[in-house]
Amino acid sequence: MIDIHCHILPDLDDGSADMDESLAMAHIAANSGIEGIIATPHFRGEEQGLAQLPKILSRYRHFVRALSRTDIPVTVYPGAEILCLPQTPRLARQKELPTLADTNYLLVEFYFDESAEYMDGILRQIGDCGYRLIVAHPERYAAIQRDPALADRWNRLGYALQLNKGSLLGAFGDRVQSTAVALLEDGVIRLIASDAHSIARRTTDMRPLRQWLSRECPAEAAAILLEENPKRLLRNEELLPTGPVRLSL
């Protein structure tokens, strides 16, 4: 498996606090079947955020060197989780946004209470710049909780939607969980990732997710979400749809 959304780089955001925790997160991931991780520290999509890119790259290289001195069998790729702000489309036009694993995929997020109209406009403008968009944790946005048809529209427009492991497992409450289940059943989800932040909570351990999927989800759909599409992302290829998913809930 490849985890395409993980706050594993040390001392950058609200993720790993230091190198020891980053290495522990990699160890936990490997033990749960993860062979690759895209490091996605938070990046504010505005001019001021550009000043953080050298620091992000430096921490990424430092972590990769430290990881190479261990026996942890995980490959880490560069990336970022981009908070979409009014300036973000301008950075997209200037090709200054950090992509996932040197592809043309972007992992983007919004404040959870943004309007559907605002998110629609920002996604359209960024997409018009030639990027492929992956929208992080749509199940956590109030606009989609109120109207899941918004997620279907994004899917039809070609935006890939990524569920959080914790959302399906109930870590963010009943409303988020029920929205996550509905989106998965509707067949609009292309990826599931850990969105891990630490070794204590929101971890890189994917075993509970795999157990949930093996119990509730057809094996073919689970393989697309956890294995095939993450590998396609790394190859900069189109992601496969699952189609509607019949869960055994």
The Cα 9–Cα 13 span in angstroms is 8
Token pair 């749809």: residue:
241
CATH of the domain at 106: 3.20.20.140
At residue 212, the 3 state secondary structure works out as helix
Letter for the amino acid at 147? D
Residue 247 included in any domain: no
Scored b (16 or more CB within 10 A) or e, 124-160 reads eebbebebbbbbbbbbbbebbbeebebbbebbeeebb
The Cα 229–Cα 237 span in angstroms is 9
Q: What string of DSSP letters covers 91-106?
A: HHHTT-S--STTSSEE
At residue 163, the 3 state secondary structure works out as strand
DSSP 228: I
Q: Tell me how many domains the chain contains.
A: 1
pLDDT tens string 215-225: 999 999 999 99
Residue 240 included in any domain: no
- Residues facing 109 on adjacent strands: 83
- Residues facing 108 on adjacent strands: 82, 135
pTM across the whole model: 0.97
Residue 241 included in any domain: no
Q: Which residues of the chain have pLDDT under 50?
A: none
Residue 217 included in any domain: yes
Q: What is the pLDDT of residue 201?
A: 87
The Cα 2–Cα 220 span in angstroms is 17
At residue 115, the 3 state secondary structure works out as coil
Residue 245 included in any domain: no
The Cα 241–Cα 243 span in angstroms is 6
Residue 16 included in any domain: yes
Residue 243 included in any domain: no
Residue 96 included in any domain: yes
Residue 6 lies in domain: 2-234
Q: What is the pLDDT of residue 73?
A: 98
Q: What is the pLDDT of residue 57?
A: 97
